[in-house]
Amino acid sequence: MKNRSRLLQQGIPGTGNILYWMSREQRVASNPALFFASYMAKEYGKQLEVLFVIDDNYPNANLRSFAFMIEGLQEVKLLLESLNIPFHIRIGTIPNEVISHINLHQNSIIVTDFNPLRHDVSWKKELFHSVYIPVYEVDGRNIVPCWISSDKQEYSARTIRPKITRLLYDYLHPLPDVESLKQEQTLASESVDWEGILDSLNIDKSITPINKTAGGKAAQKVLNQFIEERIRNYAIERNNTKTNGCSELSPYLHFGQISALEVALKVIKECPDDDNRKAFLEQLIIRRELAENFCYYNPNYDSFEGFPSWAKKSLLDHQSDIREYLYSRAEFEQAQTHDSLWNEAQGTLVESGTMHNYLRMYWGKKILEWSATAKEAMQTAVYLNDKYQLDGRDPNGYTGCAWCIGGLHDRPWFNHSIFGNVRYMGSKKISSQNRK
Ligand SMILES: Cc1cc2nc3c(=O)[nH]c(=O)nc-3n(C[C@H](O)[C@H](O)[C@H](O)COP(=O)(O)OP(=O)(O)OC[C@H]3O[C@@H](n4cnc5c(N)ncnc54)[C@H](O)[C@@H]3O)c2cc1C
């Protein structure tokens, strides 16, 4: 198995079990951090235990995202216990709960998930100030680990594609079967009152759960259906807002309930090597890993400051252009624009936690067109995306908003009012799809 781990902090191992602090990769199968922790447990002659902390201060925590996450975690717990790996759930603040668990259990080493987003980076820094045992991080999100595919922020898909492609041969291999994780000794793991947890959390409960089954098994079902019914038309249908041509895997990928590696391997094995397969792998691997690269190397990933220089200049040059329509964040949120297509997309987002990819582009571009400044537009788009999208709070979301509003990963286009050289998008194409 190719190494996806790196040592974040050296230290003196404690006397207790190896701890996998699971955070972003909420699954058992095809989880390289879990396999790495299991390998370390064998090396050190220790047992492995897993900890997950539910923190209601998590940025934009709400009932929709937490209900989906907690449903998935129930499946993780059952599977880990069948492998004699205890799964501890703690409710509280990260990293305090992780620190007190380590102090109590005297863990030997910690293995945890890679995440480029700032809250996770700062949690790890805090952790290093309080625990002095070795800490390893494993990238279970990207097929080629983010810090290996490139050592800088990439300009576009064109520049990162060859870097990832040349490493795929090394990394595109399945992980061992979960049975190889099985521990001899049965260790105690507490029972969990899942419904009680959800009730007790101090989160925004006005964003209601959606009717979508969570967890690795559900993700497999969605993947199988996509492969059987839709991938054969993916290249031509993925931009059609009226047909269901995409995989709908993004919530499962976002919560780490399925790994991109597993999805890619299955698609490669079961689908012919044609334009559809290529188009899907371009999104799943190149575009997704480009988004991770952006958030990893650009600390301003969710604001105007993170846009490319040419776009910032051009948007500022057009800041005083007259806007025919101007809306506040509240008007956008309540879908009170003059445009029925935009309002419909926003309404669906609020109710069902999702939006078609092509509509997301239109939605983001219009927020720029109808906001007082590009800076405000980015704030509005990120706020709505993170609050309502089930797959929000993700590098793909920050990158998608920055692509629409700030020309990220795009080239300068011909000049347009308000947009400057940032690519403009009208409603013609989508409207014609709606008429069909
Ligand atoms: C304004 C805006 C906001 C977005 N917000 C999010 C978000 O919060 N979370 C999110 O996961 N994606 C986001 N995207 C990217 C993309 O729209 C979604 O990933 C896609 O619509 C998810 O549907 P799917 O799983 O059926 O995609 P498919 O077309 O089946 O693609 C498979 C997977 O490839 C990845 N992918 C697809 N398109 C992109 C893309 N453009 N950039 C990066 N990765 C991609 C996703 O992981 C997706 O699940 C956003 C795009 C825009 C323009």
List pLDDT tens digits, range 236-247: 999 998 888 999
Distance of CA 396 from the midpoint of ligand 1 (Å): 6
Candidates 230, 357, 367: which one to mutate for ligand 1, based on the most atoms within 8 Å of Cβ? 357
Fold of 304-435: DNA Cyclobutane Dipyrimidine Photolyase, subunit A; domain 3 (1.10.579)
**1-140 and 143-180+215-297 have identical folds:** no
**Is the minimum distance from the CB of 375 to ligand 1 under 6 angstroms?**
no
**Is the minimum distance from the CB of 46 to ligand 1 under 6 angstroms?**
no
The domain spans of the chain are 1-140, 143-180+215-297, 304-435
Would you state the pLDDT for residue 327? 98
Q: Of ligand 1's atoms, which has the minimum distance to the CA of residue 248?
A: 26
Q: What is the maximal distance between C-alpha atoms in the chain?
A: 70
| Among protein residues, the one whose CA lies closest to atom 44 of ligand 1 | 288
Three-state DSSP class for residue 48 = strand
pLDDT tens, position by position, 192-228: 999 999 999 999 999 999 989 999 999 999 999 999 9
Would you state the pLDDT for residue 234? 96
**Is the minimum distance from the CB of 254 to ligand 1 under 6 angstroms?**
yes
Would you state the pLDDT for residue 243? 86
Does the structural domain 1-140 have CATH classification 3.40.50.10860? no
Mean pLDDT, each 10-residue run in order, the chain (436 residues): 89 97 98 97 96 94 96 97 96 97 97 98 95 97 98 98 97 97 83 93 95 95 97 94 92 98 97 94 98 98 98 98 97 98 96 95 98 98 98 98 98 97 86 58
pLDDT tens, position by position, 158-176: 999 999 999 999 999 999 9
Contact residues for 82 (Cβ-Cβ < 8 A; gap 6+): none
Candidates 281, 283, 358: which one to mutate for ligand 1, based on the most atoms within 8 Å of Cβ? 283
Q: Which residues pair with 20 in a beta bridge?
A: 50, 111
State the sign of the Cα–Cα–Cα–Cα dihedral 379, 403, 297, 170.
positive
CATH architecture of 143-180+215-297: Alpha Horseshoe (1.25)
Question: To which H or E segment does residue 89 belong?
Answer: strand 87-91
Closest CA to 301 of 118, 146, 114: 118
Query: Please, where are the H alpha helices in 106-156?
Result: 118-130, 146-149
Three-state DSSP class for residue 91 = strand
User: How many helices (H) does the chain have, and how many strands (E)?
Assistant: 20, 6
Would you state the pLDDT for residue 427? 79
**Is the minimum distance from the CB of 368 to ligand 1 under 6 angstroms?**
no
Distance of CA 48 from the midpoint of ligand 1 (Å): 34
Closest CA to 48 of 90, 26, 20: 20
Amino acid, single-letter form, for residue 350: V
Q: Which residues pair with 5 in a beta bridge?
A: 138
Contact residues for 229 (Cβ-Cβ < 8 A; gap 6+): none
Would you state the pLDDT for residue 432? 66
